Amino acid sequence: MPHAVGLYYEKHGAEDAPPLILSSGLGGSANYWKPNIPALAEHFRVIAYDHRGTGRSDRALPNVVTVDDFADDILALMDALAIERAHIVGHAAGGVAGLALALKAPQRLNKLVVVNGWVAPDPHFARCFDVRLALLRHAGPAAYVRAQPIFLFPAQWISRHSDRLDAEEPLHLAHFPASENIERRVAALKAFDIANRLGAINTPILALVSADDMLVPAYCSDPIEEQITGARRVTMPWGGHACNVTDPDTFNHIVIEFLGA
C-alpha cells in the first residue's frame, strides 16, 4: 500500500490530468469516496487518502489536534507527491481542512469544494457530536458504528440499504480507530472557527450542501457564500450528510462542472 509522510494514499486517473485531492470527513477513510472516484478520475488525477489517526495511515496523534493539523497533512502529502497546486474536494472535516488551507497556503489551491461544512461551531452539530461520543464512551465502538448511518443518511435510504449497512458493520469495526483519536478529532472540529477571517480567503469555492443534512445543517455554509468573494453555494435537495454516497450522480455532475469551469 502506498504511504507518504505517514499517510496512506491512492491515485486514480491519468498522471497528466489536473490533480484533485479528496479529503473525507470524521471517519477519515479514502474508501468513503468509492461512489465518486470513477467519474472524477475521467477528468482528474484523483488522490484520495486516509486521515492521520484513521484507516491505513499512521494512527499516532498528539494529545491536542487542530483543523490546521488536517491542513498541514494535505500540504505534506502534496509536497511528497510533488504536487504544486491542486483542486480539493473535502467532506465535512475534509472541507474545513480545505478552508484552513485556503487561509494558510492559498497559492497551493486551485479550487475548493466544501461539502456539508461550516466556518464556526454550531449548537446542533455539537449536540450530535456529543451524542456520538457518549455512545462511544458508554456503549462502545459497535454501538457507535451501528448508530452512524442515522447521522449520515436519509431515513428512506437507510431502510432501502439496511442489508448493505449491516454487512459493512464488521468491516468498519475491523478498521475502527482508537477511541481517543475520535475524541481528539471531534474536539478539533468543534473548535474550528474562522468566522472572522472569511474576508481573507480568495480561493474559488463551491459550498455544496444537502437540504436534508441532519448532522450539519445547510445554513452552516451560508457564511461561505455570503462573506467569501466569488464563492457560491449549491444545494442538493436530498441526500443527507453523505450526499455523495446517496446521490453520487448528482454530486459528481455538480463537482465536475465547478472544477472544470
Minimal CA–CA distance to 132: which of 25, 251, 247?
A: 25
Dihedral pair phi/psi, residue 115, rounded to 5°: -100, 115
Per-residue pLDDT reduced to its tens digit, 55-80: 999 999 999 999 999 999 999 999 99
Closest CA to 89 of 72, 109, 106, 75: 109
Q: What is the topology classification, in CATH, of domain 3-260?
A: Rossmann fold (3.40.50)
DSSP string, 153-193: S-HHHHHHTHHHHHHHHHHHHHTPPPHHHHHHHHHHHHH--
What pLDDT was estimated at residue 213? 98
**Three cell numbers written together for 96:** 474545513
pLDDT digits (tens, 9 = 90+) for 76-111: 999 999 999 999 999 999 999 999 999 999 999 999
Taking each helix axis from N to C end, the angle separating 93-104 and 179-191, rounded to the nearest 10 degrees, works out to 50
DSSP symbol at 7: E
- Per-residue tens of pLDDT for the chain, all 261 residues: 799 999 999 999 999 999 999 999 999 999 999 999 999 999 999 999 999 999 999 999 999 999 999 999 999 999 999 999 999 999 999 999 999 999 999 999 999 999 999 999 999 999 999 999 999 999 999 999 999 999 999 999 999 999 999 999 999 999 999 999 999 999 999 999 999 999 999 999 999 999 999 999 999 999 999 999 999 999 999 999 999 999 999 999 999 999 996
Query: Mapping DSSP to helix (H, G, I), strand (E, B) and coil, where does residue 8 land?
Result: strand
Domain map of the chain by residue range? Answer: 3-260
Q: Are 210 and 241 in contact (CB under 8 A)?
A: yes
